[in-house]
A = this chain, B = another copy of it.
Amino acid sequence: MLKFALLGFLNYKPMTGYDLKQAMEKSTANFWQAKQSQIYTTLKDMEKKELVVSYSEIQEGRPDKRVYSITDAGKNDLEKWLLEPVTAVERHKNTLLLKLFFSSGVDREFLLSQLRQLMVLYQREVERFSTETRSIIEETARNNPELRLDSILWDATRRLGEMHKEMYVAWLEETIAMIEKHF
């Protein structure tokens, strides 16, 4: 639920919808993304429920900025959610697997070339997690020493991303070999 992501960010400091989108793109986007439009409508909804409050910062030549801050009710809501344990394995929908599952009639070379192309993409993703994403976390931690503990957890989420893409590369290799052999 996007609401909790927004509360999580606003718990660091007040931000606008635009800021929140950028913050997400730099960090949680790897495991939680949202469109700008959804962020705006969700913030509005949260304000109605008094989880956040906003004020308008007047600007010239561009729309006024609406800066949101978390309220005590919002902090409670966030904390309550953080303390709800995750007790089940999440099941994610995976289009690639769904397609592959039904692809026995598809041309062998078409399948193979697709999987090979995906392998390149996933290798790049591994690279991205171990360089860019890591740097973003390190830099933020350097500039905000009070976020030391946070940065440890941020890095744990980064590591899952990295390991996840590595696993994909290994699976693609295995799957390509399998298809080459049996198809």
Residues of A within 8 A of B (CB): 4-5, 8, 11, 27-33, 78-79, 81-83, 85-106, 110, 114, 117-118, 121-122, 125, 147, 149-150, 152-157, 159-160, 163-168, 170-171, 174-175, 178-179, 182-183
Expressed in whole angstroms, the Cα–Cα distance for A147 and B182 within the complex equals: 13
Copy number in the complex reads 2
Residue in A94, A103, A106 whose Cβ sees the most chain B Cβ within 10 Å = A94
Contacts of A90 in B (CB 8 A): 94-96
A170 to B175, Cβ gap below 8 A?
no
CB distance from A156 to the nearest CB of B (A): 5
| 25 A-B pairs whose Cβ atoms sit less than 8 Å apart in the complex | A8-B102, A28-B101, A31-B97, A31-B98, A32-B94, A81-B99, A82-B103, A82-B106, A86-B99, A88-B121, A90-B95, A100-B153, A101-B154, A101-B157, A103-B153, A149-B182, A152-B179, A156-B171, A156-B174, A159-B171, A160-B168, A160-B171, A163-B171, A164-B167, A166-B167
